[in-house]
Amino acid sequence: MNFAVDVAIVGAGAAGLAATARAYELGLSCYLLEAKPRIGGRVHTDRESLGVAWDRGAHWLHSADVNPLTKIADALGHAYVARPRAFDGHFHLGTGWATSGEYRAYRKAFDEAEERAVAAGLKGRDIAALDVMDNTSRWARMVDHIFMAISGVPPSDISTADLAAYRDTGANWPLVQGYGALLESLYAGLPVELSTPVTAIDTSGALILIETPRGTVRARSLIVTVSTNVLASGAIRFTPELPPRLQAALQAVPTGHANKVAFRFKRDVFRLPDTSYVNFMDERDAARPACSFQIRPFGHDLAIAYLGGDLAENLERAGEAEMMSFARAALSDMFGADIFRELSGAAATSWTRDPHTLGAYSCARPGHAAERAVLAEPVSERFFLAGEAVSADWYSTVHGAHLTGIAAADQANTYLTRAIAAALRR
C-alpha cells in the first residue's frame, strides 16, 4: 500500500463495492479498505451457522420493480420471489389466527397510519410519526412493530418528512440464494483489502493519509461509506475534525436497530406454503411486543424472526439467550411448543453491538429530515460520503447504498479530472 491511489474507499458494503467498481470502470486506481474479513457489510448471506443459507441482514429487493439490483440479479441468474409488501402474510393474535376480516382491519389501520404520516411529511410537517397515528386502535402494537421494522426506531423517533421522502413501489422480492450471495457474484474478483480497519484519516496535506494497522494509504480523493453511527462514534479519527454541520447531521440521522433470530428444523413443522410471512401480536398480554417471521423461506425448514427498533436493540443488549427465548415463545404460541423437538440449530444477529455497523439502517429524527441532504454534500472538494444514509429517497436499503456509491465515484472522478487539468495549466 505504498503508492498513492486516485481514490481510497472505506468500507466494502453495498456502497463501497459499487463505488470501487465504478472507479475502476472510470480508469481510476483504488484501494478498497474493509474492516471485516468479508465483503457485504450489512448484506451477509450466512451459510455456516445453520448449514443452509439465510440472510443475516438485507433480504428483500425493496421497490424491486424499479430497483437497479433486480436487473443485475436477472443478468447473473439470481432468482427472487415476486411478492407484495414486505410483511404481508398471516397474522396470529395469541389466541388463534386472525380472520380475514381482522386481517383487513389491521391492514387498514396500518395503511391509515402510514398515509397520515406521509401526508404530514408531504405537507412539510416534520413531526414524529407517532403524533399522527391512532394509538388507541386494536392493532396499534402491530402497526408500531411494522413501523419499527421499516425504520429501525419507534414511531416517536420517525420523522414524517423523512418517511414521505422514501420512494416505495410496494414490491419487495426476497432473493432465493440470498442478497449477500448476489453481491458476492456481482463483485467476484474486485480487489479488496479485507481485515483492514481504518483508524485515522488526515485530509490536511497534499495527499490524504488513511491509517490502518497494515500501513498508511495515500490517496488523491476519498469515499467513506461507514454507517452514521460508526462515523459519529469516533472509531475513525479525522484530522481536521469533520465539519460541525456534518457532525450535527450524523446525530440527526442515527442508525436504528433491527435483528433476526433464525431457527432450523429437521422437517416441515409449519405446514404453510414456502416463503410465508407470519405476524404475531398476543392479545392476551398487552405488554408483549409484536414481531414477524419468515417461515420456510424457499422451502428450507427455517423460521426467521424479524425484530425492529427498541425491541431489536433491547433484546440484543439483553443477550442471545433472551433474543432466542422471545422468538421461541412466539413460535410456540403459534405452532405449538412441540415443534422445538425437531429443532436442529439456532442463530441470532447482533447488528447494534457489531463495531463496524453499530445499528441496522438510518432514520432521521423528527424535525431533522432536511439534514439527510447534508450527508450527501461533499465534505470537501475531494472527500465524499456514500452509503444508505446518504440516499435521499432510498435510504436504509441496499440499492440506495449502491447508487450513492456510484455517485460518489463519479464525484471523485470529476474532482480528479479538474485537478489534473489545473495542474497541466500551471
What is the binding site for ligand FAD (CB under 6 A)?
10-16, 33-36, 41-43, 57-60, 62, 197-198, 225-227, 230, 235-236, 258, 260, 351, 356-357, 360-361, 387-388, 396-398, 401
Grid coordinates of 192: 479488496
- Report the nearest approach of ligand FAD to the CB of residue 335 (Å): 23
- Report the nearest approach of ligand FAD to the CB of residue 255 (Å): 9
Residue nearer to ligand FAD on the CB measure, 16 or 297: 16
Residue nearer to ligand FAD on the CB measure, 339 or 369: 369
- Report the nearest approach of ligand FAD to the CB of residue 119 (Å): 25
> Of all residues in the chain, what percent are helix, strand and coil, respectively (each to 5)?
40, 20, 40
Distance between CA 298 and CA 275 in Å, rounded?
5
Report which of 129, 88, 89 is spatially closest to residue 112, judged by C-alpha positions. Answer: 129
Could you tell me if 110 and 138 are in contact, meaning their C-beta atoms sit under 8 angstroms apart? no
Could you tell me if 5 and 31 are in contact, meaning their C-beta atoms sit under 8 angstroms apart? yes
Residue nearer to ligand FAD on the CB measure, 83 or 138: 83
Report which of 103, 72, 76, 73 is spatially closest to residue 87, judged by C-alpha positions. Answer: 103
Q: What is the DSSP string of 139-174?
A: THHHHHHHHHHHHSS-GGG-BHHHHHH----S-EEE
- Report the nearest approach of ligand FAD to the CB of residue 257 (Å): 8
Residue nearer to ligand FAD on the CB measure, 197 or 378: 197
Give the CA count within 13 Å in the CB-facing half-sphere of 233.
17
Residue nearer to ligand FAD on the CB measure, 33 or 130: 33
Distance between CA 394 and CA 169 in Å, rounded?
11
Residue nearer to ligand FAD on the CB measure, 133 or 175: 175
Report which of 418, 415, 361, 410 is spatially closest to residue 390, judged by C-alpha positions. Answer: 361
- Report the nearest approach of ligand FAD to the CB of residue 385 (Å): 10
Report the SS3 class of residue 69. helix
Could you tell me if 404 and 412 are in contact, meaning their C-beta atoms sit under 8 angstroms apart? no
- Report the nearest approach of ligand FAD to the CB of residue 13 (Å): 2
- Report the nearest approach of ligand FAD to the CB of residue 386 (Å): 7
Residue nearer to ligand FAD on the CB measure, 132 or 210: 210
Residue nearer to ligand FAD on the CB measure, 16 or 309: 16
The type of residue at 395 is: Y
Residue nearer to ligand FAD on the CB measure, 43 or 120: 43
Q: How far is CA 233 from CA 40, 230, 282, 319, 358, in A?
A: 21, 5, 37, 22, 9
- Report the nearest approach of ligand FAD to the CB of residue 400 (Å): 7
Could you tell me if 224 and 35 are in contact, meaning their C-beta atoms sit under 8 angstroms apart? no
Helical (H) or strand (E) element with 61: strand 60-62
- Report the nearest approach of ligand FAD to the CB of residue 167 (Å): 12
